[in-house]
Structure 1
């Protein structure tokens, strides 16, 4: 873990303001600070992985905090029917993982939480994630539990009203990937469009610090 103090109180509003929906024109990735060793935005200590239970694509219980413990974990909320941001982000994460060595891959995990559990069943999530990287963990849970977990990490989710949720509808959600330490504390935020090589560089640096 890094020891540089970083004050979450001033970060949270900034992160919330940066979140973009899965519709409309995606924003460009933020440029890293000149003195930062990372390509992503440093959000050390701004968020903690919530103690929230989900279900994996295998039907097993997965507690976001406990089951991610000991692993540097990237978390992304999205949905399989997303036309652009979600598949692009997951493909970028898959390419980033491909650039890591075997030891690094064992110490780094990617967790996808569906923001659309009413349409994303376990089998659909499993097939969708498998097209990017079979090692990715796919989770789903009740709407209120999903929304509470996302909110605790500064991620917005916006669905149509229940009577409008039929057919092909869109789910707005934050487009950032949050990276958490093995202790469950936030480390970095990658904006949509962050290059896979930049992600891999950040993961390599974080893992070296946590070694």
Structure 2
């Protein structure tokens, strides 16, 4: 009986050692930064799932297009509130692109979904609120109140797609930082949609 008891303790100790090793040695899951180094990269591999990878791979080109749209506002927007909003969107989403790129690199995953050409080419027209090439050309060619209207209408659609992806990540994701970012995106962009609807109503 004593030997069987010792064997059971050894098995428990072995399992505990493995658990602690996976959690970074102090019993709490490791949460690598967006620019992991050394063991942080290896630890991150056990902290994410396929939903986290898809969220980052899809949101990066989505954010990139939003930044491109925002960069068209200076010199084209007539309403100062539209210009301010565009600058706010660009300032928020550019750093998030860098963060998500860092996660994918740490996980050893491509920063673009296979077949997308590195810039959202696999999403399809209108998918997740993405603008088509014709949409972007129309926005680039607009100015004054026409630009303001197009920008607001397109960005409302664009934000709607981002919110949908963010909700999916919050439901299915595993990586704590990605789930937290998804919550921030949903909250921020929901507020921005209300602002943009208000601007359209007064334009």
TM-score by length of 2: 0.29
Bigger radius of gyration among the two: 2
Higher share of residues assigned helix: 2
Higher share of residues assigned strand: 1
